Amino acid sequence: EHAKVRGSRHNTGDGHRAAIDLGAQAFGQWTGCHATPIDIDAPAVGDLQVTDQMPRRSYTLGITVNVDGNRFVDEGEGFAEQTFVKMGQAILEQPKSIAHQIFDSRALPHIEARYGGSKRVQAETMRGLAAELGADPDALTRTVDSFNAEAHEDEYKPRNLDGLSTETLGPPKSNWAIRLDAPPFTAFTVTGGITYTYGGLRIDRDGRVLGSNERPISGLYAAGEIVGGIFYHNSLRAAGLMHGSVFGRAAGAHAGAAVRGQA
Ligand SMILES: Cc1cc2nc3c(=O)[nH]c(=O)nc-3n(C[C@H](O)[C@H](O)[C@H](O)COP(=O)(O)OP(=O)(O)OC[C@H]3O[C@@H](n4cnc5c(N)ncnc54)[C@H](O)[C@@H]3O)c2cc1C
């Protein structure tokens, strides 16, 4: 209910509903979505002028905490290109679907340029930062202290998986676990922006929509985001357009053949 949508405001499920009313089978992970961390002030639905400026994917540096001041995800599991979908979903599952990305002066020069336009909070101490964020100073200080106790004294090399990891912390930080102790500290508040959802209709190899009896519904085809069962829990970059093209072509070929009486 707190989620922002990165895509069209017109995609509200009409196609799904119409097909399901015809007996189409709902399929895939209806609780899952492709998401990304985005600026808390991003528009509620996609806006072509600004949507591309809204992702906030430098979380591999520094730490990410929820509104209670606790870490909740391995920020350094891999490069952001590999993990931002999981990170976006994890943020959506946090209280109020809000998180704070916290950097120190060592990390800040490495963050993406598109953070430039977003609101930031800065303080010389972690307690001061917590106060500015409206977070519990004790909880945030505890989180940072326990992170720093296992983090390394090193420099950021954002394009290398540096293997600098925590040892016992839960959740761990598997790379770029570098001490967060060089003031000033800067926080950006983010939420998860939904790109597309994973649940949808069941189709066969020809893009025909299957009914709950597993048989194709005559004359009904689907391809693209309306299809379910393509992704579960995570998805690959650029795979959205790819599966739409693959199944769109298959559906078109079958529909054409059916019209010619050849299917
Ligand atoms: C911000 C963003 C970035 C993305 N980046 C990538 C990327 O880098 N690579 C990639 O592969 N994919 C990306 N995607 C995903 C990709 O855009 C989608 O997978 C793809 O557009 C899906 O195509 P589609 O035709 O299934 O649905 P859509 O492109 O969403 O088309 C559905 C159309 O139906 C219309 N519609 C909805 N309801 C009705 C109705 N009741 N009556 C009439 N019309 C209706 C909508 O207005 C819309 O025009 C991105 C998506 C977003 C939102």
Token couple for 40: 């808390």
pLDDT at 244: 96
Q: Is the CB of 224 under 6 A from ligand 1?
A: yes
Q: Tell me the CA distances in angstroms from 6 to 3, 49, 148, 190, one per residue in order.
A: 10, 12, 35, 14
Alpha carbon distance 163, 95 (integer Å): 30
Q: Domain residue spans in the chain?
A: 23-31+203-259, 60-86+101-189
Q: Does the interface ipTM go beyond 0.90?
A: yes
For residue 1, the model assigns a pLDDT of 67
Q: Which residues of the chain have pLDDT under 50?
A: none
Provide the phi-psi class of 113: left if phi over 0, else alpha when psi is between -120 and 50, else beta. Answer: alpha
pLDDT tens for 147-165 read 999 999 999 999 999 999 9
Candidates 75, 69, 59, 61; CA nearest to 141 is 69
pLDDT at 160: 95
Structure tokens at 206: 């020809």
The answer, yes or no, to whether any atom of ligand 1 lies below 6 A from the CB of 7, is: yes
Ligand 1 center–CA 12 separation, angstroms? 11
* Alpha helices per DSSP H over 101-181: 126-133, 137-150
First to last CA, the chain: 44
- The one-letter amino acid code at 126 reads M
The CATH classification number of 60-86+101-189 equals: 3.90.700.10
* Residue to mutate (ligand 1; options 241, 245, 246; most atoms within 8 A of CB): 241
Predicted confidence (pLDDT) per residue in 38-69, tens digit: 999 999 999 999 999 999 999 999 999 999 99
pLDDT at 140: 97
**Residue nearest ligand 1's atom 14 by CA:** 240
